Amino acid sequence: MKALVTGAAGFVGSTLSERLIAQGWEVVGVDAFSDYYAPALKRENLRNLARNPRFTLVEADLMEVDLTPLLASTNVIFHQAGQPGVRKSWGTDFAQYTRANIQVTQKLLEAAKASPNLQRFVYASSSSVYGDAESYPTSESLRPAPMSPYGVTKLAAEHLCTLYAKNYDVPTTSLRYFTVYGPRQRPDMAFTRFLHAANTGGTISIYGDGEQIRDFTYIDDIVEANVRAATMPTPNGAVMNVCGGSSVSVNQVLQTIEQITQRSLNVEYHDTVPGDVRRTGGDNSLIANLLEWSPETSVAAGLAHQWEWVRASSTTGRI
């Protein structure tokens, strides 16, 4: 099997690519190494992959690269690339989000229509499409209502996947990720910030009262869902939640970190920011039925793994 992984140098993309290589796949990774966070960290993510002859890196902007030769022998597209960040998506930065999240997805889907060997197009969507959901646990049948421009672009790209599935039989599956964490998590994301502060004695900034609830999902569980979505039969255009089933508050996370690290945390609370929702919590019933997937890693166990990664990365200067 041959896969094209977009955003291959990122948190999910690099971890997924390693899993595929370990299972005998051939992987072509595409990444533009944008400066949303340090490109050096992304290159570090690829350090092991770069040594493997079954991994090929294409350093390019997806809006500019010729996709036809890349997809000629591709069996599965894992579309992980995109412009992340709820808070940065307001104002003039929105143009980056429409380009990276909507236009790139549409270009890939157009190319996928003519890809002769394509068996599955797996799109990385987000729980941000729900906004403040109507009920919890939130199922895919509920009306999406994003509260941030970022969420709007992820939903638009997801709708494009469904449209191309219905109109052109492109075999798309969209996975709505709920707050992914674990080793290689981006430096701007909460758990990396919290654990780095625990390691260095720095201050943790919390936007809100800390009682906001999130459904945290460990990276290995996300990768497993992607592999199953690529290799198991699903209806074209399917949309599925991928969530850890945790639904714990940020304050509870901080308490768990203190227990794991055996260190007291310096926490400062600030006003909430536009676009942040009060709660997320997904219903996994659909993906359990279609792909026989369920999360295997608890928040405590996942945080322990991420803590070891943060300590090791700090020692070598990688974060």
**One of 97, 150, 164, 218 is an active-site residue; which one?**
150
Could you tell me which residues come within 8 angstroms of residue 30 by beta carbon, excluding any fewer than 6 positions away? 4, 5, 6, 7, 8, 57, 58, 59, 60, 62, 65, 70, 81
Active site residue 37: no
Structure tokens given for 101? 């999240």
136/117 Cα distance (integer angstroms): 39
Query: Cis peptide leading into 183, omega within 30 of 0?
Result: no
290/30 Cα distance (integer angstroms): 29
Secondary structure (H, E, C), the chain: CEEEEECCCCHHHHHHHHHHHHCCCEEEEEECCCCCCCHHHHHHHCCCHHHCCCEEEEECCCCCCCHHHHHCCCCEEEECCCCCCCHHHCHHHHHHHHHHHHHHHHHHHHHHHCCCCCCEEEEEEEHHHCCCCCCCCECCCCCCCCCCHHHHHHHHHHHHHHHHHHHHCCCEEEEEECCEECCCCCCCCHHHHHHHHHHHCCEEEEECCCCCEECCEEHHHHHHHHHHHHHCCCCCCEEEEECCCCCEEHHHHHHHHHHHHCCCCEEEEECCCCCCCCECCECCHHHHHHHCCCCCCCHHHHHHHHHHHHHHHHHHCCC
Active site residues: 150
